[in-house]
Structure 1
Amino acid sequence: MYEESMNFPEEALIKSFDRPVLSSVEGHERNQPDQSFPNGRNCGSSQPGAGLQINSDSAPPRFRHVLLRIVSRLVPGLLMASWMSLAADHAFALDSDSKQPIYIEANTATYDEKKGETVYTGDVKATQGSLEVRGDQMTVYQKGGATEKIIVTGDPTRLKQTPEGGKEDIHGTSQRADYFPDTGILILYDKALVWQGQNSTASDIIEYDTKNGLFTAGSPNTGSKRVHVKMQPKEKSK
């Protein structure tokens, strides 16, 4: 039925992390900082993997948003009819995730107050509840104290979230992920892949509307780049 069958690993691509979370972006339960965070200066540790500690008095404005909330009920904008069975088997992510503080860990961080940009680099990890996001670099853009856009890049960028109802974890990978807090839109670019168990969707572009639970793969401008879907049939109960 489909142009090709794609087999993706069921195991999580995001391994467990031994390092403690060092920074609470939401401002809840912050660790005591051991170094200042002067504007426009690099405040990372000189030792790789040492992590980042942010001074709550001089850190960038708090990020009042959900960093990357992966929608687990996949209701495609394209190929909707053929994906209904896939969407029905998914559940929304844990409702408590959006109420949790966001923690960011990285080797270095640079804040430019004039531009309203904060750049985290070096094995960047962001967590909020059950949601985990990992990449090589994360850039946060702010204007007037509000976060306009977050860009995460990596080779690849890895996403993981636990849905409600005891469902299997949701995973995603891409080379870049753009998130717009105001609209709740999350766009995965370049080798984008989302899967849960043995069901998967792959495309050059995958877009999530995190507020309305809508999912769209591909675009009219992708040309020969196709959307690939794999749906594992359910075993009949005996």
Structure 2
Amino acid sequence: MNKTYVLPVLFVVCALVAGGASAEKADRNKPMNVEADALRYDDLSQTSIFTGRVVATKGTIVIRGARIDVRQDPEGYQYGTVTAEPGRLAFYRQKREGVDEYIEGEGELIEYDSKADNVKLIRRAELRRYKGTTLNDEMTGSLIVYENSTDVFTVDGSPQGAQGAPASGNGRIRAMLTPKVDPSAPVPSAPPPAALRPSTNLGGEKR
């Protein structure tokens, strides 16, 4: 049976997708809620391990996976790894600050480094940017690194996966990028309709 954990230690999970200029700042002050089948917390090593259909939410942030491991170093930086169920992809989503846009990412592994302030989507990686509910940009590859503070991403078609695992895919990346439209630019007018010519046929027979 799933259990919901709302504990003081869960602040470390917020670092999975929080921070940076592109992140929704209000999320930092929202409570973190995690649903999972089990939790193992080690205070000495400052690690939390959630397992079993894990769903974490904090404001606009949504994280899903089979397992979430979170570690905090002595300097206070957090490092998180989200692992997908076999044959599926782990997921994260967050609203961008000040605009009606969302970043979504998927991969067999998702790694967050709060010191470097980036998110890595590893193996069968996908990154999508939505304007409202409209898909604006989309890219796929074996490794996608998204820099939260600069809103810059890189896509690699054939890197080595985490812990030396071989990369999947055909070594090529794919991207769909929508051009930005200037709202002040004039909308081109449609050409006038062609003039109708009188027909010499009626019902397929010549008059």
More strand per residue: 1 or 2? Answer: 2
TM-score scaled by structure 1? 0.59
Report the residue type matching 1:211 in the other structure.
Answer: S
The aligned counterpart of 1:106 is 36
The aligned counterpart of 2:104 is 171
User: For the pair shown, which has the larger CA radius of gyration, 1 or 2?
Assistant: 2
The whole-number CA distance in structure 2 between the counterparts of 1:234 and 1:148 is 35
The size of the alignment, in residue pairs, is 167
The aligned counterpart of 2:5 is 53
Pick one of 123, 138, 141 that aligns with 2:53: 123
The whole-number CA distance in structure 1 between the counterparts of 2:32 and 2:127 is 22
Structure-2 change in CA distance of 1:229 and 1:70 (3 Å)? farther
Moved segments of 4+, more than 4 Å: 219-224, 232-236
Q: Cα distance, 1:100 vs. partner? A: 3.0
Confirm or deny: 8 A CA contact 1:153 1:175 kept in the other structure: yes
Report the residue type matching 1:205 in the other structure.
Answer: L
SS of residue in 2 equivalent to 1:226: coil
Confirm or deny: 8 A CA contact 1:132 1:160 kept in the other structure: yes
Deviations along 1:180-205, one digit per CA (max 9) or x if unpaired, are 11221211100110113052111100
The whole-number CA distance in structure 2 between the counterparts of 1:175 and 1:123 is 14
| Identical amino acids, percent of aligned pairs | 20
Structure-2 change in CA distance of 1:219 and 1:234 (3 Å)? closer
The aligned counterpart of 2:173 is 227
Across the aligned residues of Structure 1 and Structure 2, the Cα RMSD in angstroms comes to: 3.1
The whole-number CA distance in structure 2 between the counterparts of 1:93 and 1:145 is 22
Which 5+ residue runs of structure 1 have no aligned equivalent?
1-47, 73-91
Structure-2 change in CA distance of 1:95 and 1:117 (3 Å)? closer
Confirm or deny: 8 A CA contact 2:13 2:70 kept in the other structure: no
Confirm or deny: 8 A CA contact 1:108 1:121 kept in the other structure: yes
Which has the bigger relative contact order, CA under 8 A and spacing at least 6? 1
Which 5+ residue runs of structure 2 have no aligned equivalent?
130-134, 161-166, 189-207
The aligned counterpart of 1:199 is 137
